Structure 1
Amino acid sequence: MRVIGHRGCPALGPENTLAAFRAAAARLDWVELDVRRCASGELVVFHDSTLDRLTEATGPVADATRSELRALRVGDSEESIPTLAEVFAALPDRVSVNVELKEAGLADDIVALVADAANDVLVSSFDPDALREVREAAEREGALGTTDLPRAFLFATDWDRSLRVAAELDCVAVHPHYDLLSAVRVAEAHDAGFELNAWTVLEREVVERLREWGVDGVIVDDPAVVGNGLREA
């Protein structure tokens, strides 16, 4: 079962920062991150739509330029908000990356960046339009030497509808909240041709239950909840 470091694993460093991604990469083969566009056009790695929770600034990320974001610090750390390109540059090539799109309108930039990256990439989103744009952009550009870029549909409700949406978008995986799952549903997703990565798992007993059901991956804040089998840092 793959273990995916959620936002680089907040247990290891401030979420979605280079420090967190480097620490996660020392232990895990996968990391997950959130992408949105800032005012000057760059793709930045930041979960929230506003700066209020994690920085001393306020207001939408979309209204701040890259230079303004670079000057901010995440939480009480010395870490700044990185661009997506900076995260890829910091990660070893062997680490796979789950890029979660927080908004539509990012597809062309994502496809262009991934085409130059050595890492394996899976693009996910709660927004079907964002995933549809990625599919279309990848087909136009021939990303990675193919006509596709793997996609996963994220959801927290409505199991049946979500599987239908994932199928319509030609997704290779579904990313449900773990509370939606049962052994029957895991088998149903597999029978439909999807891999299944569950988010965000906080307790070891939940990890073990999901493992028993055959879940392909778990997205975690802290690698310690998985127990043995992680790379030594």
Structure 2
Amino acid sequence: MARPAVIAHRGYAAIAPENTVIAAERAAERDETAMIEIDVRPAACGTPVVVHDERLDGTRDGWPLTDAAGLVRATSLEELRETRVLGTDATIPTLSDLFAAVPETVGVNVELKNPGRADLRVGEALSEDERDRRRDAWRPFVERVIDDCEAFGGEVLFSSFCEGAIAALRDVTARYAAAPLLRDDPEAGLEIARRYDCEAIHPPRTAIGDAGVDGTGIVESAHEEGRTVNAWTATTWVQFERLAAAGVDGVIVDFPGVTGTGTRRTPGK
């Protein structure tokens, strides 16, 4: 049985300043890294930038996330490019800058976090009317993200907790693989995957092995439908091995080295 592909969470956030060019470069240098997972949201001008949190003044283990404050979507691109991450010299990159730093032998999982709005519908399967509204709200930002992807020759896999983001992606292009990020309701997540013919699903590690999706585990259900399963987020080798034993196709990890035999296959295929 093939080992799960290793997906570097924010560029191995446990050992490098997350979502930065230096993190991506270091992650790409490791043979085990099949794909690098990053988060994107817009600067004030709409340019896609790579940062997880809505605000610049968040923390990680009590440490300031950046040396700035305020909403990312209200901050100029110039200021964001000078904003230092986690007390290092690394700054918040544009999506274009990050793609330029990643070799085409390593894939990129782009998580669509926010289109520049406060009113998100995270983790919900939406009604038809609401799907249309949310798709239209996401589309301008998704178009900007897609434009940045065009220059990258490697594999790109999109994911999101927001159905509107996946709807907008499918409306703009069928070129890239997509995956709903699942939370507490695996069946709702699988329904979103079916609705947009998504190539993959991304459930939380704690959902793997649970019954309840048509009487089976979520991995089996997804595989029966021809979808790959990339689980998030493993922080130990024990967690990784349990996910591997459950048959997942990829594991999003904070640390490199949780497995000694990772392979560079495509997590979205």
Q: TM-score with structure 1 length normalisation? A: 0.91
The offset of 1:10, in angstroms, is 1.5
1:88 equivalenced with 2:115 (yes/no)? no
The offset of 1:224, in angstroms, is 2.0
Q: C-alpha distance in 1, partners of 2:247/2:153?
A: 29
Which residue does 1:37 correspond to in 2? 42
Structure 2, unaligned runs of 5 or more: 59-64, 116-137, 211-216, 265-269
1:50 equivalenced with 2:85 (yes/no)? no
1:71 equivalenced with 2:82 (yes/no)? yes
What SS class does the counterpart of residue 258 from structure 2 fall into? helix
**Alpha-carbon deviations, 1:85-136, whole Å to 9, x = none?**
0000011111100000002432111222222320110010000001110111
The offset of 1:211, in angstroms, is 0.8
Larger RCO (CA under 8 A, 6+ residues apart): 2
Structure 1, unaligned runs of 5 or more: 139-146
**Alpha-carbon deviations, 1:49-98, whole Å to 9, x = none?**
00002112211000101111112110110000000000000111111000
The offset of 1:229, in angstroms, is 4.1
Q: C-alpha distance in 2, partners of 1:29/1:192?
A: 23
Which residue does 1:143 correspond to in 2? none
Aligned residue pairs total: 223
**1:30-179 residue pairs with structure 2 within 5 A?**
30-53=35-58, 54-104=65-115, 105=138, 106-138=141-173, 147-179=174-206
Counterpart contact for 1:154–1:175, Cα < 8 Å: yes
AA matched with 1:198: A
Q: TM-score with structure 2 length normalisation? A: 0.80
AA matched with 2:144: D
Counterpart contact for 1:12–1:23, Cα < 8 Å: no
Counterpart contact for 2:6–2:262, Cα < 8 Å: no
**Alpha-carbon deviations, 1:150-205, whole Å to 9, x = none?**
10000111111111111112110000001011173211110022100000111211
Which residue does 2:13 correspond to in 1? 10
Which residue does 2:253 correspond to in 1? 220
